[in-house]
Structure 1
Amino acid sequence: MSKVEKSKRKQLSEIVSVVKLSSLLFVGIIVCKYIFTDGRIAPNSAVAYYTIMSIILPIFVLVLIYFMWTFSSKSKMKNKYGNLISNIETVAFIIIFTVVIFVCGAYESEYKFLYLFIIITTTIESGMKKGVIVSFISSIIILAMDLIMVPGDINVYFENDLILAGIFVLTAWPLGFYVKIESEHIKQLEDQVNIDGLTGVYNHRYFHDELRKKIMQGKMDHKPVSMIFIDIDYFKHYNDLYGHQKGDTILREMATVIKENVDLDNIVARYGGEEFAIILPNTREDIAMRIAENLRAKIESTYFEGEENQPNGKITASFGISVFPDKAKDDMDLIKSADDALYRAKFFNKNRVEAYTSILDDIKQNISDEKDIELVASIKTLISVINAKDRYTYGHVERVVIYSRLLADQLKLSEKEKATLIYGAYMHDIGKINIAKDILVKKMKLTNDEWGELKQHPNNGVEIIKPVESLKDVIPLIQFHHERFDGKGYPHNLKGEDIPYLARVLTVVDSFDAMTSNRPYNKRKTYEEGVEELRKCSGAQFDPDIVEAFIKVITSKTGQICIGKIEAGSEAAVDSISTLTYDEYNLKL
């Protein structure tokens, strides 16, 4: 519910409550008038005093209690119990008015108009349907009094009350229509504010508002909240080919497909450009994965005009998934992690579903020191910042991790050494956070000063992770992965076996991917040329034994498949550098 609607409801609730309170005061006045007229009680007698006190005080206390209830806890209770409170309230007022009317003359009573109070308030509060129902009940009560208490021919009271019954109904009906029209008008205004004008789904602002609410509700109810990010593959290519008007048509059709294939309680929004987001309350990650995979297949099988000219011959989409609280601590963390998962899906050949995962999350599970956990979370954020600054670094790190896993098995490293190598591969470029984006993405050859700045990233990386005791074994990999076997590397000119073994392993993997990837300032080599370069530099830049082991693993059957997959992707757009999937090689981050 929007702030505008909440404000409107609050104002209406206060108006309705004031009317109800006023009606109770009228009831008190009517009761007092009835008691002290026609000589029932002498005004100046002691009996009168005690009678007044016995009547007025309870009424005053009841009105005070109702006042406090109305303007304090009522709204909270209504949020929890819905219409039940409102229905009980309405029935209570009808009973009170009926008793007062019956005591004050029944069919002869001049206070039958009291029902108008509850008819008006119910109609304003709950709409025309309930207002008409209350008006019919009120009409039946007053007409029943006439028929039961004055049997025989139709009497003048019945005729007058028949007119009054008509007034009751006519009060509820037009007022109900007005309330309905007003609500529809407000809904239209809200739609203009909350709905994306192009696609008809919710917009970016509404998405953020609802995500915060769903996360808060999930915290209170201890229920998960999943989120799916969707990005149309090669959408820029489609726009360049057909123009933005055709592109807008694809966006509208894509929004329709998404809306038609998710549950009504899921919130579909256009996050921006060609990105959509889905909020799935009370949904586990495995269910969200299944929903996303079904949606991916549906999009792939749906025909979109002009899709045959797309790079893969179809209009497809990539999906990133994360879930609160398992993989995110709040709404912004959920967005960031889902976006990271989407980035991974785009990176691995597009048209796929990826759930968020992070090596650093695995590290945090094995850390008991709360301070270290916070530091690792900060490192995780820094890596995300680097990925955003330099898309090459993201793809490079992903591939280095894959190669490191393959080489670790070939070298028969222990589980501890393997984990250290993988963590080092994942974080070896974290020091680039301090390098200017202009240098990281520069397309021309770097100047000496720029190279000097770039060479500082190993030491910068060490300073970042040094405070984390659990990552102390990773420090040598980050600090020495640019050292050379012949002692001509940087930053410390270490030589031969003075360079830690795992750092030498990482150097081979890191250099091979660097030379076989498109970089802003360096033309990529083919994988055959990369192998030849490794052999050429063996004993000079690289440890010869590690070079031979790496060449052996990448020229094996599994390695050839791996190379073929990566090479096929490297010729594509920059956000599709690799198509290797972890599942194919049982490689899980």
Structure 2
Amino acid sequence: MNKIISNRQKKVFEIVSIVKLICLLFCGIIVFNYFFRDKNIIIMTNNDYLNVIPLGVGTLVIALIYIIWMFFSTEKLKFKNSRLLQITEDLIFILIFSILIVVSEAHESQYKLLFLFIVITSTIQSGIKQGMVVSTISSMTVLGIDLIYGDNTNVNQHFENDLILCSIFILTAWLLGYYVKIEKEYTENLTNLANIDGLTEVYNHRFFHDALKKILEKADKEKSPVSLIFTDIDYFKHYNDLYGHQKGDEVLRTIGFILKSSVRAGDIVARYGGEEFAIILPNTSEKDCLYVAERIRTEVERWEFEGEENQPNGQVTISLGVATFPDKASNEIELVKSSDDALYRAKFFNKNRVETYYSVLEELKKDIEAEHIDLITSIKTLISVINIKDRYTYGHVERVVMFAKLLGNKLGLTEEEMKTLKYGAYLHDIGKINISKDVLNKKMRLTDDEWEMLKQHPANGVDLIKPVESLKQIIPLILHHHERYDGRGYPSGLKGNDISYLTRILTVVDSFDAMTSNRPYSNRKTYEDAIEELRRCSGTQFDSKIAEAFIEVVQENKDKFDNLTLFSEK
């Protein structure tokens, strides 16, 4: 829509340029008549040639004015003070017309109608206000010339006649200006229809991306922060299924109202899609953004929605994810992705909460060689692709990292061992990038070929991180996290202590999360069932000491684990 408006403005300026060119050509005629009036030239004398010189100079001046005007007519939209430029142009034309009218018989001049051109072009360009100002100045100029050069002894006939002309100036400015005003309002209404979400009356998805791009460009130049909040209504599908989409739409409208009421005038609230909203906060640090996000979360939680008592958590609530440019993202795509990741983190970790963007990879960058930073960024992109293909993998990795940290503390790992375990937990499924989405999300039993394909993901993951020397210590965790303590695992069939200690830890927490999460082909087990499964498989699939230590961790942190694995639907 903005492009259409911009093209329209450009065409208007082209028309105005043509009109003013015509005005300048008329000025050339006036100059010509001034130098050759009362002459009947057949053969030019030397004196006539001398008279032509001023005419030539005048013509060159007019041509120069025209060239300058044509330049500004195509470029002035780029100027911040384009309004001031237009006013200056109008005054210059009024001055030129005034001088030419004075030298062409002043009050008796037949060229006073030239002012009408400038009244029309000024009104078209700038609206009724400037049009009325220009028409008033033009009228005062014409009447002033009549008073100065007219016959003051008798009735000034020229003054009386020019009163009608001046009335035409003012009437033209008013009528044309009113039309321009109506058209502008109509264009603004169309723009709103194009930019505003009809249901929630906040900005729509397309406008969000346009605005974010411009705001980030400005922030990059000014070296100022920009924060982005992604928010999603918890269990909204459950509410829609229970009360119908009309009631769901009322919730969306209310959430939109709360969001708009909770931010500053310069902030952008947009409906990103479905029940997901986005808020752009220019010149806002992560700390301030978290404060705003928490205030919004609290306001929604306190709002009394119809039928909210039947929601899974007894209320209509929202989850929010926060990311900030340039600290957590270097461009528009990264900022959106980081905010979205933070939102899903909030959704997975019990909902009705605010989460800021965090990635183990950001921490990992501090521990690797500078020449491998780009590769780590590429790995981050690959993980994003996996998350899109298989949402289970995203939540699974986040939870396994959390479980691994808790178990590592229980077992008294050193700081270096904790780092290795944490990085290995985060990257252990990266090899799934080569597995098709259909296989990852298949609800039926995998075929032998599909199973063999899936079993290749540990080796594929190792191939991806091999070039990074600093990551060599996590290769065993990625390659062997599906080995079994009894030697019946894959890909190498390692047994007992041949499997590294950290890998045995990762195997326990990885399997526990797989058991207690909803998968495309199976429903989650309860914690009690999963604990029994850990005990039953101790000494066969799992290292019994590690399994028992993790059972203690689960029992000591049951409430926290409930939060981590509660996610089942948006």
TM-score exceeds 0.5:
yes
1:449 CA drift (Å):
4.7
Correspondence 1:64-463 to 2 at 5 A: 64-71=67-74, 73-76=75-78, 78=79, 80-150=80-150, 151=152, 155-370=156-371, 372-446=372-446, 448-463=448-463
Deviates more, 1:168-177 or 1:325-334: 325-334
CA distance in 2, matches of 1:380, 1:455: 22
Deviation at 1:183, TM superposition (A): 2.0
Residue in 1 that maps onto 2:54: 51
Q: CA RMSD in A?
A: 2.7
Deviations 1:26-71 (A, max 9, x none): 2232122122224699964232132223322222233223323433
Matched, 1:478 2:466: no
Residue of structure 2 in register with 1:7 after alignment = 7
Whole-Å separation in 1 of the counterparts to 2:192 and 2:375: 43
Which residue does the alignment assign to 2:560? 565
Equivalent residue letter for 1:213 = K
The one-letter code matched in structure 1 to 2:237 is K
Contact 2:349 2:563 in 1 (8 A): no
Q: Tell me, yes or no, if the aligned pair for 1:347 and 1:575 is still in contact at 8 Å.
A: no
Residue 519 of structure 1: CA displacement? 3.7
CA distance in structure 2 between the aligned counterparts of 1:40 and 1:137, rounded to whole angstroms: 38
* Residue in 2 that maps onto 1:497: 497
The whole-number CA distance in structure 2 between the counterparts of 1:214 and 1:529 is 51
8 Å Cα contact 2:17-2:69 kept in structure 1:
no
Deviation at 1:274, TM superposition (A): 1.3
Partner of residue 510, structure 2 = 510
Deviations 1:121-145 (A, max 9, x none): 1111111111111111211222233
* Distance in 2 of aligned mates of 1:265 and 1:200: 16
Question: Secondary structure at 1:574's aligned position in 2?
Answer: coil
Pair 1:24-2:18 in alignment: no
SS of 2:110's equivalent in the other structure is coil
Distance 1:429 1:513 in 2: 13
- C-alpha contact 1:484 1:493 (8 A) present in aligned 2: yes
Deviation at 1:487, TM superposition (A): 2.3
The amino acid of 1:61's aligned partner reads L
The letter of the residue matching 1:48 is N
Shift of 1:107: 2.9
- TM superposition score normalised by structure 2: 0.91
1:11 deviates by: 0.4
| Cα distance change, pair 201–406 in 1 and its aligned pair in 2 (3 A) | same
How far residue 301 of structure 1 moved from its aligned partner, in angstroms, is: 2.2
The answer on whether the counterparts of 1:36 and 1:43 sit within 8 Å (CA) in structure 2 is: no
- 1:580 alignment counterpart: none
Deviation at 1:103, TM superposition (A): 3.1
Q: Runs of 5+ in structure 1 lacking a partner?
A: 577-589
Summarize the Cα distance change of 1:23–1:224 in structure 2 as closer, same or farther, 3 Å threshold: farther
**How far did residue 291 of structure 1 move?**
2.4
Aligned counterparts of 2:226 and 2:241: Cα–Cα separation in 1: 37
Q: CA deviation at 1:83?
A: 1.7
Paired letter, 1:50: I
Contact 1:307 1:314 in 2 (8 A): yes
Deviates more, 1:231-240 or 1:537-546: 537-546
1:391/1:575 contact within 8 Å kept: no
Asked if structure 1 preserves the Cα contact closer than 8 Å seen for 2:347 and 2:567, the reply is: no
Any conservation in 2 of the 1:226–1:280 contact (CA below 8 Å)?
Answer: yes
Which range is displaced more, 90-99 or 531-540? 531-540
Query: Displacement, 1:506?
Result: 1.4
Is the Cα contact below 8 Å between 1:342 and 1:354 reproduced in 2?
yes
| Post-superposition offset of 1:93 | 1.9
For residues 226 and 321 of structure 1, the distance between their equivalents in structure 2, rounded to whole angstroms, comes to 7
Instruction: Tell me the alpha carbon deviations over residues 203-223 of structure 1, each in whole angstroms, 9 at most, x when there is no partner.
Output: 223333333333334444444
Q: Deviation at 1:258? A: 2.0
Give the secondary-structure state (helix, strand or coil) at the position aligned to 1:268: strand
The 10-residue stretch of structure 1 (327-336 or 497-506) with the greater mean CA deviation from structure 2: 327-336
- How far, CA to CA, are the matches of 1:224 and 1:118 in structure 2? 45
Structure 1: distance between partners of 2:449 and 2:57 = 94
Between the two proteins, the alignment pairs up a number of residues equal to: 566
In structure 2, relative to structure 1, the CA distance for the partners of 1:217 and 1:547 (3 Å cut) is same
User: Larger deviation: 529-538 or 135-144?
Assistant: 529-538
In the alignment, what sits opposite 2:65? 62
2:10 partner amino acid: K
Task: Decide whether aligned partners of structure 1 residues 531 and 248 sit closer, same or farther in structure 2, where only a CA change above 3 A counts.
Answer: closer
